[in-house]
Amino acid sequence: MTVIELGERPRGGSDEPPDEAPRPPGVGLRLVALCVVALLTLAGSAPAAYRRPGRAVPAPQGASFLVVAGRLVVADGPGTVGGGGRVVTGHRLPDGRLLWRFVLPVGDHVLGLSTVAGLLLVTSSPAGAGDTLSTVLDPGSGVLRWRGPGYPVPTQSGGLLFETPRADGTGTIRSVDPASGQTRWSLPLPGPVAAYRNGDRGVVEIVLVTPDGRVSVHDAGSGALRQEGRVFRADDRAGGRSVQVVGDLLLVGGTADTDPPPRGDPPPETVVAYGLDRLDRRWSVPVPTRAGTWFSDCGRVVCLHDQLPGVRAFDPATGRQLWTDERWLGVSPVGDRLLAAAPADGPELDRVALDPGTGRVVTRFGRWRLAGGDDAGALQLGLRRLPTDRTLVGTLDVATGRTRLRAVLPGSWDGCVDAGTQLVCLRPSGGLVVWPVER
């Protein structure tokens, strides 16, 4: 695949461009033609610098926004806590006309927007620091459907879970009907640890762990008990044990009984993996004890991350280390591949697709800042800053390794949402613009 970097400065000792010699007639036209050919080579289509006017939509700086059921929904973002932060509006596309306006109770502040079962889900918190509340609205009309306590977690079967812990670590997990807000079933929290096994659309299993090592695994759709057992016994270990669910494994951490390393560093922590289906011990590996070390589900492998750049990948069946690479700031599974990032010049990161089993680079996408986060799916919307105050918007297809250019927009943008025939983008200073584009 040919990768063409757009708008890079030459790597020299000065940021000032060199004096240009007079150009022969026709050189400018030939240069433009070569640029067009380069863009066509990169993506199969080459949108010119944007000339059609966009439609402005009011939005505060750092606003939350999404497109659901053909409506653009805008909310005051977390950055407006203390200065309002409780207004949600719905707008028609593509003209951005205001259709409805919903205001949260006084003292409540928007934390984020999401969708469930075709409805709009607004998460908020009183005074920006209280218990999380969830408000479900009709995206077409802004009519309130229901409102209740708890932070929403979608399930694989299309439901919602709400975890409502108490100060002592107990509490409940409730399953809620998204359409009505009615509780379907609930489970008591036996302790401070409630973890989830996730599928591609939400939680598949709920894993509850008591301080003395008793584990119960429940179906996230029905609440039914699938497995129970004990994986460790209570001890006087300071801070207790770390517990994490990664894929179909329960990972339990504990300090190894080994002598300190020669350099005087603290001994590594031994992490033991148990299968969720039978709670049987599968394998164990030593990991660093410093803060900022965590495991994650990387599809066919289990990844270990650190606060420093670098990723280690393990076979989930045996715990054998498959590969390690110090280049990557982080990796996330996208289909059958891993999307990884490395530092690059400017605000973007160098994006690549990896083979999970070997860590081999399959595709190099070049420098992009992802508009929807690393977990946005197989089609990732990317932004790249260009010279003369422009932004390149492209879609990164992780499965095929191809990049499709969507537009070259004037100005700089904090983030964008691809609505098919429109791009909705937020200015750093506030305000949204709806840009018409080809699908």
Q: What was the pLDDT predicted at 374?
A: 55
Is-contact 133 147, C-beta < 8 A? yes
Q: What was the pLDDT predicted at 307?
A: 78
Q: What was the pLDDT predicted at 96?
A: 95
Q: What was the pLDDT predicted at 289?
A: 73
Q: What was the pLDDT predicted at 194?
A: 86
Please give the Cα distance from 64 to 285 (Å, whole number). 41
Q: What is the mean pLDDT of residues 70-81?
A: 76
pLDDT in tens, 169-197: 678 899 999 999 999 999 998 877 789 99
Lowest mean pLDDT among 267-271, 288-292, 396-400: 288-292
Question: Cis peptide leading into 94, omega within 30 of 0?
Answer: yes
Query: H or E element: which one contains 410?
Result: strand 402-410
Q: Identify the structural domains of the chain with CATH numbers, from first to last.
A: 59-145 (2.40.10.480)
pLDDT band at 346, cuts 50/70/90? Answer: confident
Percentage of the chain modeled with pLDDT above 90: 60
Average pLDDT, the chain: 82
Strand order in the sheet with 390-397: 330-334, 337-343, 349-354, 361-370, 379-386, 390-397, 402-410
Query: H or E element: which one contains 42?
Result: helix 27-43
pLDDT band at 76, cuts 50/70/90? Answer: confident
Q: Is the pLDDT of residue 237 over 60?
A: no
pLDDT band at 330, cuts 50/70/90? Answer: confident
Q: Is the pLDDT of residue 257 over 50?
A: no
pLDDT in tens, 41-50: 344 344 555 5
Q: Which of 65-74, 79-88, 301-310 has the highest mean pLDDT?
A: 65-74
Q: Is the pLDDT of residue 15 over 50?
A: no
Amino acid at residue number 122: V
Q: What was the pLDDT predicted at 267?
A: 64
Give me 238's structure tokens.
Answer: 């300071």
Q: What was the pLDDT predicted at 383?
A: 96
Lowest mean pLDDT among 47-51, 72-76, 199-203, 296-300: 47-51
Q: Which of 360, 287, 291 is nearest to 328 (CA)?
A: 360
Q: What was the pLDDT predicted at 84?
A: 58
Q: What was the pLDDT predicted at 151?
A: 87
pLDDT band at 77, cuts 50/70/90? Answer: low
- How many of the other CB atoms lie within 10 Å of CB of 369? 20
Give me 273's structure tokens.
Answer: 């993996």
> Which residue has better confidence, 56 or 237?
56
Q: What was the pLDDT predicted at 255?
A: 52
Q: What is the mean pLDDT of residues 376-391?
A: 88
pLDDT band at 142, cuts 50/70/90? Answer: very high
Straight-line distance from the first to the last Cα atom of the chain, in angstroms, rounded to the nearest whole number: 24
Q: What is the mean pLDDT of residues 410-415?
A: 92
Lowest mean pLDDT among 23-27, 104-108, 350-354: 23-27
Virtual torsion, Cα 94, 100, 101, 102, nearest 10 deg: -120
The single-letter DSSP state of residue 319 is: -
Please give the Cα distance from 198 to 143 (Å, whole number). 31
> Which residue has better confidence, 50 or 406?
406
For the chain, how are helix, strand and coil distributed in percent, rounded to 5? 5, 50, 45
Q: What is the mean pLDDT of residues 127-144?
A: 87
Please give the Cα distance from 111 to 81 (Å, whole number). 9
pTM value is 0.82
